[in-house]
Structure formats: structure tokens, C-alpha cells
Amino acid sequence: MKAGIVADDYKVPLFRAELEKAGFTFEVTHYSKLQQLSLIKVETTERRLKEIELITKRVEINAKRSN
């Protein structure tokens, strides 16, 4: 199963760090140059979807703090 995350390009390093730390396998594809977005495809199981949701929330909070 794959989960998709569309993220601003500047947040990709934060997502990489969190997903790697949690042991996820993922692929990052540049999604839109104009809007500076990337698509992160995460290999997961249904059981670990909640974990990805928590990672997403954590990255958003950390990104807001750094701005």
C-alpha cells in the first residue's frame, strides 16, 4: 500500500528526516515547479497510516516554528 503526501519543496528535508527515522521506504518526485511542490510516495501498511499522519502533523508544526 502507498500513501501520498504533497508537500512544499522546503518541507521535503523535514519529511525525509522523519520518514527515515521511522523506517519508512519512500520516493520523492518533483510535482510542480510553478507551485514548488513535491509528491512523497510512502510504502506502508494500513496499520502504519496513523504514524504517517502524526509525522505529517509534526512536520507542519516544525515548519511553522521555523518561519
DSSP labels, 8-65: EGGGHHHHHHHHHHTT-EEEEEEEETTTTEEEEEEE--GGGHHHHHHHHHHHHHHHHH
Counted domains in the chain: 1
pTM of the full structure: 0.90
- CATH code for the domain in which residue 16 is found: 3.30.70.120
The predicted-structure confidence for 9-24, as pLDDT tens digits, reads as follows: 999 999 999 999 999 9
Mean pLDDT check: name the lowest of 10-19, 24-33, 45-54. Answer: 24-33
Note down the domain range covering 30: 2-66
Whether 67 shows a pLDDT value over 90: the answer reads no
